[in-house]
Structure 1
Amino acid sequence: MRNWLLLASMVCFAQSSLANDPFELVAFHSNYKVFRNGSEVGNGQRTFHNSTDGRWYFASESNLSWFILSDKRKEQSWLKLTDGQVNSVEYQFNRSGTGPDKESHIIFDDDKKSLTDIYDDDPLETDWSEDLLDPVGYQLQMRLDVAAGKKELSYPVLYKGERRDYRYEVVGEELLDLPIGKVEAVKIKRIRNNKRRETFVWLSKDHDFIVARIWQSKDGEEQADLRLADYQLFDESAANEQTDS
């Protein structure tokens, strides 16, 4: 059961040199297929666009089913972007399926230098820090950093009331064969103190450095393999009507 929940939580993550390539954020919608040991176990999708108030909206959803287990998740993040630096404004998380339902709501208040952190209707005692990012927002900062040519990546993420430092390193580039077709991608490895788990992330150079693939194993056994199946640009004005918070 625990391995299944790890799988579900994992799903909810150019031609010249990266440092010289221009990079401009664009609104998109992407779809994914999720596999485990060669079998398709679900799907995911991500949405990213600018809101009418100038914030960026970033959402990640997944719907998995494996034997008698099921897991459905949605994470939403509202962000500010200033001179290449991402700041979290608000974050919402909802999970349903096998086992207890879960929800979270975080508000980052820069003016008051405070956090409102609610997890399953219970307020958490969380210390304010201006560099904290939410579990979705840090992935936008990763896109920007990789596009800028950075090799060592580190992000302070607020998770269940605790600050966690997510560390990654760029290990190279790779041509992937995905459901969407051939994709040139930057391969990134997550650096963990716990050696039992291994996570690799590929960002697509052909699709504005969005997530093209995520692969994770535990104790040498594959837990999940998320692969890009479709990528589309879309009309931001229509999306704003549904996602402004």
Structure 2
Amino acid sequence: MRRALLLAFALLAPLAQAADLKPFSASYTADWKQLPMSGTAERSLSANANGQWSLSFKASMMIASLSESSEFKYDKGSFLPQSYSYERGGLGKSKTVNLDFDWSAKKITGSDRGDAVNLPLNNGVLDKSTYQLALQHDVAAGKKSMSYQVVDGDDLDTYDFRALGEEKVNTKAGSIDAIKVERVRDPTQSKRTTVLWFAKNWDYLLVQLQQTETDGKEYTIMLQDGTVDGKAVKGN
């Protein structure tokens, strides 16, 4: 259960709207409905001197921890991953992933849990962080159905989403107008459900995530506080 919660934390990735990315930082809390268990997570986006962007994520829950980072270029609405790293510890089996994206050679190389990764790099391929930014960018653009090719282990997988409409979300930062989005999965393959809410007036920052695992356990991740381009996120 702790592992599932930390993996869900990894969906937290606020984004600036349209073609202009803005630096941000956000913190979140998470709670299980069935158990007195809680955790925290922080994510930030910053511009580098070389024109690239850095997306950083850290989560902790009791004795478990997770960190994730991506370096990427953003060009005319397209996200171009440059490198990706992931490390999880304190959950029995640790996990480490390191990937490099060589756009000139059209190759993805690196390692996943000690196994070599060598994949073709085609236009539109994303890592497990940058696809989240692409999702929020598309939600901001008003798209109703989204699909992404994501490096998952030593293979490429397709992640599908659809927008469900508008809702108000009561967060610790106040009541926020949001767009509700769900992950689309084949019910014959997985009973897991994931629903996300993105703040309309705060560059589509993720403000809430609800997930139900295959065993029926549910938890909610909620925005605690955040800033977008130096401005504190505040609801009504």
TM-score bucket (shorter structure): 0.7 to 0.9
Whether the 8 Å CA contact 2:18–2:137 is kept in 1: the answer is: no
Q: Distance in 2 between matches of 1:108 and 1:115?
A: 5
Whether 1:77 and 2:52 are equivalent positions in the alignment is no
Report matched runs for 1:137-176 at 5 Å: 137-176=130-169
Whether the 8 Å CA contact 1:92–1:104 is kept in 2: the answer is: yes
**Which stretch shows the higher mean deviation, 35-44 or 188-197?**
35-44
Q: Which residue of 2 aligns with 1:224?
A: 219
Instruction: Return the offset for 1:112.
Output: 1.1
Counterpart of 2:4, as a letter, is: L
Residue of 31, 34, 44 corresponding to 2:30 = 34
Whether the 8 Å CA contact 1:35–1:226 is kept in 2: the answer is: yes
Whether the 8 Å CA contact 2:70–2:85 is kept in 1: the answer is: yes
Q: Which residue of 2 aligns with 1:50?
A: 47
CA-to-aligned-CA distance 1:100-130 (integer Å, 9 cap, x gap): 2211110100011111121234322433323
Q: Stretches of 4+ moved more than 3 A in 1?
A: 21-24
Counterpart of 1:215, as a letter, is: Q
CA-to-aligned-CA distance 1:139-185 (integer Å, 9 cap, x gap): 11112111111110111110111111000000011100112221111
Q: Which residue of 2 aligns with 1:239?
A: none
Q: Distance in 1 between matches of 2:55 and 2:78?
A: 15
Whether 1:106 and 2:99 are equivalent positions in the alignment is yes
Whether 1:200 and 2:195 are equivalent positions in the alignment is yes
What secondary structure is seen at the aligned counterpart in 2 of 1:54?
Answer: coil
Whether the 8 Å CA contact 2:101–2:109 is kept in 1: the answer is: yes
In structure 2, the gaps of 5 or more residues are: 12-16, 231-236
Counterpart of 2:97, as a letter, is: S
In structure 1, the gaps of 5 or more residues are: 14-20, 236-245
Aligned-pair identity (%): 24
Q: Which residue of 2 aligns with 1:189?
A: 182
Q: Compared with structure 1, are the counterparts of its residues 22 and 121 closer, same or farther at alpha carbon in structure 2 (3 Å cutoff)? A: closer
**Which stretch shows the higher mean deviation, 165-174 or 108-117?**
108-117
Counterpart of 2:96, as a letter, is: E
Whether the 8 Å CA contact 1:7–1:223 is kept in 2: the answer is: no
Counterpart of 1:150, as a letter, is: K
Q: Which has the higher helix share?
A: 1
Q: Distance in 2 between matches of 1:7 and 1:226?
A: 9
Q: Compared with structure 1, are the counterparts of its residues 208 and 23 closer, same or farther at alpha carbon in structure 2 (3 Å cutoff)? A: farther
Q: Distance in 2 between matches of 1:27 and 1:217?
A: 31
Q: Distance in 2 between matches of 1:228 and 1:63?
A: 15
Q: Distance in 1 between matches of 2:217 and 2:67?
A: 23
Q: Which residue of 2 aligns with 1:63?
A: 60
Q: Distance in 2 between matches of 1:145 and 1:52?
A: 26
Q: Taking structure 1 as the reference length, what is the TM-score of the superposition?
A: 0.84
Whether the 8 Å CA contact 1:33–1:42 is kept in 2: the answer is: yes
Counterpart of 1:119, as a letter, is: D
**Which stretch shows the higher mean deviation, 175-184 or 220-229?**
220-229
Q: Compared with structure 1, are the counterparts of its residues 48 and 4 closer, same or farther at alpha carbon in structure 2 (3 Å cutoff)? A: same
What secondary structure is seen at the aligned counterpart in 1 of 2:125?
Answer: coil
Counterpart of 1:44, as a letter, is: A
Whether the 8 Å CA contact 2:163–2:180 is kept in 1: the answer is: yes
Q: Distance in 1 between matches of 2:193 and 2:178?
A: 19
**Which stretch shows the higher mean deviation, 130-139 or 111-120?**
111-120
